[in-house]
Structure 1
Amino acid sequence: MAVMEREHESQGGAESGTHTHRDINGGWLRPAVFGAMDGLVSNLGLVAGVAGSDASNRVIVISGLAGLVAGAFSMAAGEYTSVASQRELVQAELDVERSELRRHPEDELKELAAVYEARGVDPGLAAEVARQLHKDPEQALETHAREELGVDPQDLPSPTTAAVSSFLSFSVGAVLPVLPYLLGATSLWYAVVLALSGLFACGAMVARVTARQWWFSGLRQLALGAGAAAVTYGLGAAFGVALG
């Protein structure tokens, strides 16, 4: 029995010593989250501002749909350009590193060994590790990229993935403030409640990835959306009175 208990404890310790990490380098998470939040907040603010000016439901719907389409394409174009530019910059630096490895292999070998020495590795061992890694040119390039540039050449973000994620998530977020009016609602409160509920849900879902408390993340997003809606509604009401 004692042996079995020790084996169980040993197995439990081995299991507790293993862990996994979340994917923090994915090219879809940031644009998807940012797109959904931006779609909700910006279109809620737009709808609230137009509704505050005492516009008709038809004008509110047209404004909301126009904001959805314009915002979705703007977000997608911005994300594509941003990620593509970042990727091109990394590729250019990788080309420089690839050229240096081909032209000055010994210098690059010493450079990599020096990196490991700076981290406390014995000089002889550091030189041997660097030599082993330099046997494969692609492995050498990947190692230098990680150590010098802080990037993984095999895991660069995709501009297309970022653009599509941003477009779709913005569209989903932006349609919520308009949806009640499309279904026949005549009061802004329906749009506000639906949009703020969506913001809270998005914040809570993001917390599952970021490991923050779900209620804190949800309330934070809800507060940001409510503040934006209140400000734009007030501006819409002020301009509506001034122009009326």
Structure 2
Amino acid sequence: MTSEKTSEKTSVTTEPTHQHRDVTGGWLRPAVFGAMDGLVSNFALIAGVAGGQADQKVVLLAGLAGLAAGAFSMAAGEYISVASQSELAEAEIEVERRELARHPVAEERELAEVFEARGVDPDTAAEVARQLSRDPDEALEVHAREELGVTPGDLPSPVLAAGSSFLSFGIGAILPVLPYMLGATSLWPAAIVAALGLFFAGALVSRITTRPWWFGGTRQLLFGAAAAGITYGVGALIGTNGL
């Protein structure tokens, strides 16, 4: 009976108690940033143009131009940024690969010191480092993670980052343009759609963080409203003065 209880207790305690979401992918940050930027920047652009003059065709043209320019700019910027970061990481990984080939003993000792710094006793740290260093690929992966904070072969994809930015910016930027495409003659319909989009986007982002949905939605709405209000004021000022 006792052995059955012990076995049952062991089986329970050794099972995984939780799972983590992937926080290292290259798509989440550009997708979230792209959607927010598209919605805020394009609504602010539309508000500025609408504040300067009331021709809905001009406002619509400005909104569509802002959508296209912003989406391509975001995609290009993300691609270059992530590609440059990955190229730098690959170059440093190559340096580590050469050091492992030229100075294996020194690199093994360096790895043991990393484990010692984390509280492992010296003998155990040396043995773990020795076993890991037997496989060059495994040794390279451990050294890269410990020294560079990256994993060889699992670097962010610039294409994925660029595609995420392009699509998400386009989705965000099209929202304030839709009312004008459907025949709106004033800024209010676009403002309502943009406000709903801002709140929903902020609330949605809070679902993957620890913030309450109402906090994320309200914060995004306030920042977007402030940007649009300032731009509208600038447009109205320029239009009033005939510049």
TM-score of the aligned structures, taking structure 2 as reference length: 0.93
Aligned to 1:140: 139
Q: Any residues of structure 2 matched to 1:77-116 within 5 Å, and which?
A: 77-116=76-115
Task: Compute the displacement of 1:17 (Å).
Answer: 7.0
**Residue number in structure 2 paired with 1:241:** 240
Superposition deviation, residue 14 in structure 1: 4.3
Deviation per CA, 1:2-46: give whole Å up to 9, x if none: x9xx99x969x7499711222111110000000000000000000
The range that moved more, 136-145 or 14-23, is 14-23
Match of 1:175 in 2: 174
Give runs of aligned pairs for residues 205-220 of structure 1, distance below 5 A: 205-220=204-219
> Could you say which residue in structure 2 is the equivalent of 1:54?
53
Q: Distance in 2 between matches of 1:96 and 1:196?
A: 50
Give 1:211 deviation, angstroms. 2.4
Is the contact made by 1:22 and 1:209 (CA closer than 8 Å) also made in structure 2? no
* Cα distance, 1:139–1:17 mapped onto 2, change above 3 Å: closer
Partner SS state of residue 144, structure 2 = helix
* Cα deviation digits, residues 40-64 of structure 1 (max 9, x gap): 0000000000001123000000000
Which residue number corresponds to residue 122 of structure 2?
123
Q: Match of 1:210, as an amino acid?
A: T
Q: Is the 8 A contact 2:54 2:186 kept in 1?
A: no
Partner letter of residue 99 of structure 1?
R
- Gaps in structure 1 of 5+ consecutive residues: none
Q: Structure 2 vs 1, CA of residues 35 and 240 (structure 1 numbering), >3 Å: closer, same or farther? A: same
Equivalent-residue separation in structure 2 for 1:120 and 1:234 (angstroms): 59
Query: Structure 1's 15 and 125: CA in aligned 2 closer, same or farther, altered over 3 A?
Result: closer
| Structure 1 counterpart of 2:28, one-letter code | L
How big is each residue's C-alpha offset from its partner over 1:183-237, in whole Å with a ceiling of 9 and x where there is no partner?
Answer: 0111211101101111111111111111211110111111011001100111111
- Cα gap change, 1:106 to 1:10, in 2 (>3 Å): closer
Provide structure 2 residue ranges, at least 5 long, that are not aligned to the other structure. Answer: none
For 2:241 and 2:79, locate their aligned partners in 1 and report how far apart those are by CA, in whole Å: 41
The amino acid of 2:23's aligned partner reads I
Q: Structure 1: how far apart are the matches of 2:237 and 2:13?
A: 65
Kindly report which structure 2 residues correspond to 1:160-171, keeping only aligned pairs within 5 A, or say none.
160-171=159-170
2:65 is matched with: 66
Give the distance between the partners of 1:199 and 1:103, measured in 2 at CA. 55
* Residues 201, 130 of structure 1: alpha-carbon distance in 2 compared, 3 angstrom cutoff: same
Change (3 A) 1:54 1:16: farther
Distance in 2, matches of 1:99 and 1:145, equals 12
How far, CA to CA, are the matches of 2:241 and 2:130 in structure 1?
75
Question: What whole-Å deviation, never above 9, does each CA across 1:97-150 have from its counterpart, x for those lacking one?
Answer: 000000100000000001111111111110110011111111000000011111
- Which consecutive segments of 4 or more residues in structure 1 shift more than 3 A? 13-17
Cα distance in structure 1, aligned partners of 2:220 and 2:15: 34
Provide the rounded CA distance (Å) in 2 between the counterparts of 1:156 and 1:219.
34
TM-score by length of 1: 0.93
User: CA–CA distance in 2 between the matches of 1:185 and 1:23?
Assistant: 42
